[in-house]
Structure 1
């Protein structure tokens, strides 16, 4: 059955504290909303992901969703969550799915198992939600500061998203309840329209980010999930040629000669690009940017390194460290070392403390010792989600 996903991301998340809306804040180096969208992309049976956003966040959304396949252009949400979901449902009406999953952007840890169970439950029951048994005793509030006996915790459940429905059922329910804006979730909308809502097992890891404390917990969980630590190396060399400067580590450094190459011949960034590509098994710089292609003639090599860093992030990874060693007799690297570190860190958007630049001569041996060119060696360490 054709299944689409609506990701509701139109809120401002004021309880999460100052700063960007919570769905656009970073979690282990990656925006929360990108993590959430990526969890659905490529899942078996999922056709499209339809985001619903605030119009004032259009530029933020474009940056976090860049490169994700099967994510439809966002639609504008409403004043309430209910209105935002209805906008997402209406956006699918021209080519309707059989089933639809409705998910909160602030739940970035939704698992493949939960998505599959949501699809199966909607197909079987028409309307279903993931639910967790409560472990804490519930109490009713009486006078301020006092409690009384509350409901039996065995008779209640904590409900999560994605909530899943037959598309026509939930669209009709939302249209019928358009004036009843106090309903807190889509299960309540379906119930108000007279439908029974089934439950299926939720996931304790599928937490919703609401408060600053939630982000602290989520950051720790996200780092623990990046258990696949990989290191790869890169190497590049370019010969000297006519010129009055060389480009190294993204910096233009005056010199008596230039470096010959199809692009700007930045051996440092080329070696780092290959190292990053190696961590995800994505070939080498020549595969992505063939020297035979005229569009790369004279190109600035920071474009290559940005591309490799984006591929790592698209794979769910986080760059932990970059290390480069430059081998040459001249020019002197020491005076430019810190500026190189800062430039490389800015290119890949990581703290400068995670970048190392070193230099050495080859004791006048070999082509570098004869001042015929410059070489660079690089290593990259990244953290990736564990895949069996």
Structure 2
């Protein structure tokens, strides 16, 4: 049974308006990749699948392009502009829902991408008896109270403390009223504190370790849940024609004929590119660089391979090795093999010892045997980046 059908109707707000720069770099962490896709996309996909309707994604002013790119291809949600603080952003989302108020709403941080459906079920069920509900986990480490001088000033009782996660669930009218009435000069730690300040009842439900918040650069490098290695295969053919340049493995060869194609027709790099894309299940070279697009006319195929390698890295993989076979009667590949290996290694960032380039003929059989074209077959191995 679809788990979404077991859930009562609910709305959801994904809060993604923060700067998110503690992970390093200039791009907010919600638009950085985690396990192969933008951080924000994980939560939006999960909440859509769970049946959240309406679903609002609250973003910072000026972040529309990044947000649209991160959620490209998804439907069933809309953007709302946030404010200067997280509390302001949540308030903006709640006010946007107020025109057609839902009965229940989940408020979730985009920085917590791994959201189990079981947690959503527990939160919504708790709203039958409480105005709010939050997922929590026990504190397992000993705790100490620190003094201003960074010395131990006392003991904290971990038995009465809980680690709080999101999403947090609320009866919509209650949380909206609590935000409207909040008049403190300081920001609340979370939305549950806003409701509790107005004497609202907040239930504690079982959270999940999977709901870890992505905070630092090393958190983005988590490769759990992806295969330790992948294999991809690519095959390509181009016709030999007079008056064309002959490019193989990014190296220009002098020959009576060259390869015809929309780009530079480098059949070797095309095969390797398709092998990398195949290994990560991300289409083929025509998907990313369609021959119907004039901007790729005469383009160097090295940029196609660079793009595929980047996509593999974003998916959490690094190239291990490349095994390429060129199939042709002429030109002779042997004299050019060292330059070809060096160029493929440069493009992919591999050592030359991880790049194998072989050549064979078909004993005068078929189109390659008749000198009508050149074929290439490539196999690549990818391994989890860490």
Q: Which bin holds the TM-score, normalised by the shorter protein?
A: 0.7 to 0.9
Given the alignment of the two structures, is residue 115 of structure 1 paired with residue 113 of structure 2, yes or no?
no
| Cα distance in structure 1, aligned partners of 2:323 and 2:81 | 45
| Cα distance in structure 2, aligned partners of 1:148 and 1:318 | 44
What's 1:172 paired with?
Answer: 177
Distance 1:16 1:360, change over 3 A: closer
What's 1:81 paired with?
Answer: 86
Distance 1:258 1:166, change over 3 A: farther
| Cα distance in structure 2, aligned partners of 1:122 and 1:251 | 66
| Cα distance in structure 2, aligned partners of 1:88 and 1:204 | 27
Query: Could you say which structure has the larger radius of gyration?
Result: 2
Cα-to-partner distance string for 1:227-277 (whole Å, 9 max, x where unaligned): 364323222222212332145567776653233457764434543454356
> C-alpha displacement at 1:192, in angstroms?
1.9
What's 1:33 paired with?
Answer: 40
> C-alpha displacement at 1:187, in angstroms?
0.3
What's 2:106 paired with?
Answer: 101
SS at match of 1:187: helix
> C-alpha displacement at 1:124, in angstroms?
5.6
What's 1:335 paired with?
Answer: 339
What's 2:373 paired with?
Answer: 373
| Cα distance in structure 2, aligned partners of 1:243 and 1:109 | 55
What's 1:325 paired with?
Answer: 324
Distance 1:294 1:59, change over 3 A: closer
What's 1:348 paired with?
Answer: none
| Cα distance in structure 1, aligned partners of 2:109 and 2:245 | 52
Give the conservation status (yes or no) of the 8 Å contact 2:223–2:316: no
| Cα distance in structure 1, aligned partners of 2:283 and 2:174 | 47
What's 1:361 paired with?
Answer: 359
Matching of residues 81-230 of structure 1 within 5 Å? 81-122=86-127, 125-142=130-147, 144-177=149-182, 181-210=186-215, 212=216, 215-216=217-218, 218-219=219-220, 222-227=222-227, 229-230=229-230
Give the conservation status (yes or no) of the 8 Å contact 1:268–1:324: no
SS at match of 1:125: coil
Cα-to-partner distance string for 1:59-115 (whole Å, 9 max, x where unaligned): 433443333443423x32212211011112223344544432212222233334333
Give the conservation status (yes or no) of the 8 Å contact 1:270–1:285: yes
What's 2:231 paired with?
Answer: 231
Q: Figure out how many residues of one structure are paired with residues of the other and give that number.
A: 367
Structure 2: tracts of 5 or more residues without a match: 1-7
| Cα distance in structure 2, aligned partners of 1:26 and 1:103 | 18
> C-alpha displacement at 1:161, in angstroms?
0.9
What's 2:50 paired with?
Answer: 44
Distance 1:269 1:198, change over 3 A: farther
Given the alignment of the two structures, is residue 64 of structure 1 paired with residue 66 of structure 2, yes or no?
no
Range with bigger deviation, 225-234 or 189-198: 225-234
RMSD: 4.2
Return the TM-score normalized by structure 2. 0.75
Give the conservation status (yes or no) of the 8 Å contact 1:245–1:256: no
What's 2:59 paired with?
Answer: 53
| Cα distance in structure 1, aligned partners of 2:312 and 2:155 | 49
Distance 1:278 1:193, change over 3 A: same
Give the conservation status (yes or no) of the 8 Å contact 1:319–1:381: no
| Cα distance in structure 2, aligned partners of 1:257 and 1:325 | 22
Distance 1:353 1:7, change over 3 A: farther
Distance 1:157 1:127, change over 3 A: same
